[in-house]
Structures are given as C-alpha cells and as structure tokens.
C-alpha cells in the first residue's frame, strides 16, 4: 500500500510502537446528529487512481491519505482521539491488512465498526462480506443507518522472537506464492476480481498437471507445520521436509464460490497439499467445490481447523497479496471485527 511493505519487520515494528497516551476510542455518538466516519483512503488502489474522494465535503466525514506506515498509524491514532463511530477503508485487501496491523496497538479489541470500500484488484474480503463490487460511500452510509454488520476475525501472525504482530485474511505459501505472481501478471493484462482468480486457477492447474518434474510448478517448499506442539498430519508421498502448497484463512466465502477449506464455517482454517500427485491435481476442480473424502487425506490433501499454527518456512509467503520473508511464525485469530454490510 505505502511504498515497499514486504519488510514484515518494519510494518510490525511500526504497529508495535507504544502510544504516548491511551487512544481507545471515545463513544460520542449520542452527542452527534450524524455518525463520525474516519476514512483511510489509498489513492494508489486500482479504482481510486485519478478519482476524488467521495463525500469529502461532509463535516462528519474525515478523509486521510497517509503515505507511509508511520503516517497511517498517526492517522488511526488521530481517529481514535476524535472518537470516530466508524472506520472506513477505501482500498483493496492490502490496504485492509495495513490498517488492521497499524491499528492493532491503538484499538486493541475495541475497534469501531469497519466499512470496506472495494477499490482493489481482487477484494477477497468483499466477496466474503457479500458487498457489491461497486459499493460507494453513499451506499455504505445508508447501510450504516440500517445497522447490519457481520463479524469476522483476521489472522494474527506473531513473530515469536520479538512479539511483533501482523494482521491479514489470507496467507499462503508454496504454489500459492507462484499463483500470486501469476495474478500480478493478470492484473497487468487488465484482468481483475473473480475473472482474474479464475484465470490464475486454470493457469496454475495446467502448469502443475503437465510440467516436468524439474519445473518450478511441481517443486515443493521447505515447510514445518505444528499445532499445540504436534506435527500436522502428512502422507507418505514426496519429500517429508516439504509441502506443495499451504493456505490459511479465517474467511468463509471466496471468489467464484470456491471452497478450498471444504464446507463454509468460521475460524482459522488450513488447506495443505503435500505433493502434486498428477491425479490429485486432476481432481482439483472437484476439490475446489469442497469435495472431501478419507482417501484424499491418505494421499496428502489436508483440511484442518485449529486454534494456533506454528510454521517454519524455507521460502517466502504471501499475506493478502504481499510477499514476506521466510522464517518462523505463529498464526492465530485476531480480535472480533464488525463489518457494515448492505
């Protein structure tokens, strides 16, 4: 969102910097005729480029466009001091990730209700919340009046050695990272949202199905996965120190209606494929409908619900479209967040 943010340590350090004074938001709605809405606007988001902010001349709308993580955190602290009633994120999934990360030390477990204005290239969170792709701020303000919200909890990613924390909604590594690279190319070709997701899936399946064993699309990634101190299940196929793909998320619905974690449900969910057996890859379209069976688990397809996950990665991973370095991390669920919906 704000320059190069692939430095997970920098983003986490900014988020963890102590505040000078308590900045928990003050509830002042009863003293106002209209709700006070603070908007973090990312002018670099796909559908914001060259556009002016919506309703910027309204007295109860506070629009800020911070240009760095430090400035973003200062913006959120200022919103908390003003006692905003709603926090709007005008951007894509990456903008949401940065706002949640930089605001964690400010709002803690007491976030104001969130409004998501879908201006990014894929907007997976928007699909989960059931928002229209062209949802405007004016429509969101009408929805605020109706008072309907949905609760979601983001992923919280701990750096065990430092105690720093990053938030997001979809984490993936292995083949998922290669798919993310393909998606970036699709964006350059002018393909976005569910169409881009569909193209990425088809391209990745073709490459994995028909590539030679030495091709990067069929390579595993050094990976160790543990929960509550125990190694997660693994089949007998492939290098035992590697996995082909791992995806974790707390979202419940995904673009194109795919169900990588099986049936729709809340919580921290994990999907893992140990190694790209060609017949497993051939079944992938069926797997993405949520199909599950014991023979899949025996052959290296795992779907697991858990409270915490300790991961040790030999390669980088992606979090909501951004790359972060290899290393050791702990995943868990973050605070409950309320999102305004139509």
CATH number where 38 lies: 3.40.50.10330
The mean pLDDT of 291-303, rounded to a whole number, is: 96
Residue pair 82/23 in contact by the 8 Å Cβ criterion: no
pTM to 2 decimal places: 0.86
The mean pLDDT of 263-267, rounded to a whole number, is: 96
> Would you give the distance in Å from CA 218 to the centre of its chain?
25
* Same domain assignment for residues 97 and 24: yes
Residue pair 270/248 in contact by the 8 Å Cβ criterion: yes
* Same domain assignment for residues 247 and 208: yes
- Write out the residue range of the structural domain in which residue 202 sits: 170-319
Any domain includes 2 = no
* Same domain assignment for residues 208 and 290: yes
* Same domain assignment for residues 269 and 149: no
pLDDT score, position 64: 93
The closest of 149, 64, 143 to 103, measured between CA atoms, is 64
332 falls in which pLDDT band (50, 70, 90)?
Answer: very high
Q: How far is residue 154's CA from residue 170's CA, in Å, rounded to a whole number?
A: 9
pLDDT digits (tens, 9 = 90+) for 72-95: 999 999 999 999 999 999 988 899
Query: What ranges make up the beta strands (E) of 53-105?
Result: 61-64, 86-91
Any domain includes 329 = no
Residue pair 113/86 in contact by the 8 Å Cβ criterion: yes
Mean pLDDT of the residues in the chain: 84
* Same domain assignment for residues 142 and 213: no
Is the model's pLDDT at 224 over the cut of 60?
Answer: yes
The rounded radius of gyration (Å) of the Cα atoms in the chain is 20
Residue pair 253/130 in contact by the 8 Å Cβ criterion: yes
Total domains in the chain come to: 2
Q: How far is residue 261's CA from residue 288's CA, in Å, rounded to a whole number?
A: 8
Is the model's pLDDT at 232 over the cut of 80?
Answer: yes
269 falls in which pLDDT band (50, 70, 90)?
Answer: very high
CATH number of the CATH domain containing 269: 2.60.200
Residue pair 167/154 in contact by the 8 Å Cβ criterion: yes
Q: How far is residue 178's CA from residue 272's CA, in Å, rounded to a whole number?
A: 15
Q: How far is residue 142's CA from residue 342's CA, in Å, rounded to a whole number?
A: 8
């Amino acid at each position: 969102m704000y320059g190069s943010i692939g430095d997970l340590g920098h983003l986490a350090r900014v988020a963890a910097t102590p505040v000078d004074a308590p900045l928990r938001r003050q509830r002042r709605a009863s003293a106002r005729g209209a709700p006070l809405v603070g908007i973090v606007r990312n002018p670099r988001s796909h559908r914001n480029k060259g556009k002016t902010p919506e309703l910027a001349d309204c007295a109860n709308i506070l629009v800020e466009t911070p240009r760095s993580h430090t400035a973003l955190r200062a913006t959120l602290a200022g919103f908390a001091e003003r006692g905003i009633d709603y926090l709007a994120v005008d951007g894509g999934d990456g903008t949401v990730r940065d706002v949640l990360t930089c605001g964690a030390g400010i709002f803690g477990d007491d976030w104001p209700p969130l409004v998501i204005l879908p201006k990014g290239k894929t907007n997976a969170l928007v699909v989960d919340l059931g928002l229209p792709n062209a949802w405007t701020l004016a429509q969101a303000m009408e929805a605020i009046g109706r008072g309907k919200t949905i609760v979601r909890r983001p992923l919280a990613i701990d750096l065990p050695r430092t105690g720093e924390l990053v938030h997001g909604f979809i984490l993936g590594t292995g083949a998922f990272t290669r798919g993310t690279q393909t998606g970036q190319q699709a964006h350059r070709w002018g393909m976005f949202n569910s169409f881009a997701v569909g193209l990425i899936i088809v391209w990745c399946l073709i490459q994995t199905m028909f590539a030679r064993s030495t091709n990067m699309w069929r390579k595993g990634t050094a990976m160790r996965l543990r929960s509550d101190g125990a190694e997660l299940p693994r089949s007998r196929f492939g290098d035992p120190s590697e996995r082909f793909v791992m995806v974790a998320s707390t979202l419940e619905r995904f673009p194109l209606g795919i169900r990588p974690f099986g049936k729709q449900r809340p919580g921290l969910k994990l999907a893992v494929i140990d190694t790209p057996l060609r017949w497993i890859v051939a079944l992938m379209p069926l797997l993405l409908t949520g199909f599950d069976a014991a023979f899949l688990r025996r052959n290296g397809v795992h779907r697991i619900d858990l409270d915490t996950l300790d991961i040790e990665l030999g390669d980088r991973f992606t979090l909501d479209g951004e790359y972060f370095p290899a290393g050791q991390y702990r995943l868990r669920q973050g605070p409950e967040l309320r999102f305004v919906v139509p």
